[in-house]
C-alpha cells in the first residue's frame, strides 16, 4: 500500500480515536488531544506525502515516530487500569503508526533505488 494512503488512514484514526477517547472520558485531560493534534498535522501534510515531497515526507515520518513513542505510556497506563476500551483505542493507533512507518521506509527505499 502507498505511504500516503497508510498515513492518511493513520491520521484519520488519530483524530477519530483520540477525539473519541477525550469525549468519552469521565475526567478528560487536554493531553488526550495530543493524538488529535498529530493527526491534524499528518492530515495537512498528506498532499505533500502523496506528491513525494522529501521534506514533508520526512517531517511526517518524524511525527509518526514521535506518536508511536508517545503512545507507549498511555497504552501501559490503560493496561494498568484494566480499561479495555482505552487499550483497544491506543493499540489501534499504535499499530497503524507502525504500519505507516513501515510504509514510509519502504517508499524511501523504493525512491532511492529508482534514483540510482
**Grid cell 513513542 — which residue?**
69
Q: At a CB cut-off of 8 Å and minimum separation 6, what does 57 contact?
A: 3, 48, 49, 104, 107, 108
| Span 7-44, pLDDT tens digits | 999 999 999 999 999 999 888 889 999 999 999 999 99
Do 38 and 63 contact (CB within 8 A), yes or no?
yes
CA angle 94-95-101, nearest 5°?
A: 90
C-alpha radius of gyration, the chain, whole number: 15
| Span 58-116, pLDDT tens digits | 999 999 999 999 999 999 999 999 999 999 999 999 999 999 999 999 999 998 898 87
Amino acid at each position: 500500500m502507498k505511504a500516503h494512503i497508510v498515513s492518511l488512514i493513520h491520521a484519520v484514526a488519530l483524530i477519530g480515536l483520540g477525539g473519541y477517547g477525550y469525549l468519552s472520558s469521565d475526567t478528560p485531560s487536554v493531553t488526550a488531544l495530543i493524538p488529535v493534534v498529530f493527526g491534524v498535522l499528518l492530515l495537512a501534510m498528506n498532499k505533500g506525502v502523496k506528491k513525494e515531497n522529501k521534506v514533508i515526507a520526512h517531517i511526517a515520518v518524524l511525527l509518526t515516530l514521535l506518536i508511536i513513542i508517545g503512545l507507549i505510556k498511555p497504552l501501559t497506563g490503560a493496561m494498568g487500569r484494566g480499561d479495555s476500551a482505552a487499550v483497544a483505542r491506543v493499540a489501534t493507533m499504535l499499530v497503524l503508526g507502525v504500519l505507516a512507518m513501515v510504509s514510509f521506509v519502504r517508499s524511501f527505499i523504493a525512491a532511492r533505488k529508482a534514483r540510482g
